[in-house]
Structure formats: C-alpha cells, structure tokens
C-alpha cells in the first residue's frame, strides 16, 4: 500500500539496514493511491476526511505519523465531537 520507495527513504533517513532476505521478500512495489481501494460497497465510507485521516496515520516515518492526540483532533472526528457537544449542552 505505502510502496517500497517510501520505505527505502525511511530506512535511509534513519540509517536502518534491511536484512537482505527481508528486502528480497518485500521486493519493489509502487505506492497505491487510497482511491484504488474504494468500490461500490465501501464508497459511502470513503469521505475525504476519512481518506486524509488514513493517509496521515499510515506512514512509515513515526515523525510524520499523527500522534494519538493529533489523530483525535483530526476533522474526521468533528461530527462525533459536535454531536457530543450538542448532547452535553441539552
């Protein structure tokens, strides 16, 4: 899904050497766009906020990946926060 180019960039950035056997097993793969996984059965779930949230969570580099606090503040959760705020006010 994330592709091996990004994996190799991550490994190089942090000076990590991948075991040659594992590198052989992993092979080379291009990154797949998230939209490739959307079909008629799941398109109702594939909101732009959901795709953005997924993209920001699934990163090789831990520095680029959302923290738990950042993830909970993501716009994907706005409807839940807004509903909860409304419920508390009533």
28-84 pLDDT tens trace:
999 999 999 999 999 999 999 999 999 999 999 999 999 999 999 999 999 888 887
The answer to whether residues 46 and 90 belong to one domain is yes
Whether 79 and 49 map to the same domain: the answer is yes
pTM of this prediction exceeds 0.75: yes
Same domain, 76 and 46: yes
Q: For residues 44 and 21, state if they share a domain.
A: no
Round to whole Å and give the CA distance between 26 and 46.
Answer: 28
Q: Cα–Cα distance between 22 and 40 in angstroms, integer?
A: 35
Domain housing 26: 1-30
Residues 25 and 38 in one domain: no
How many domains is the chain partitioned into structurally? 2
């Amino acid at each position: 899904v994330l592709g091996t180019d990004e994996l190799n960039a991550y490994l190089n950035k942090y000076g990590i050497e991948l075991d040659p056997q594992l590198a052989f097993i992993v092979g080379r793969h291009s990154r797949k766009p998230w939209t490739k996984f959307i079909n008629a059965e799941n398109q109702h779930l594939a909101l732009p906020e959901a795709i953005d949230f997924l993209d920001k969570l699934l990163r090789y580099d831990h520095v680029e990946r959302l923290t738990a606090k950042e993830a909970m503040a993501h716009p994907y959760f706005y409807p839940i926060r807004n509903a909860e705020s409304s419920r508390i006010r009533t």
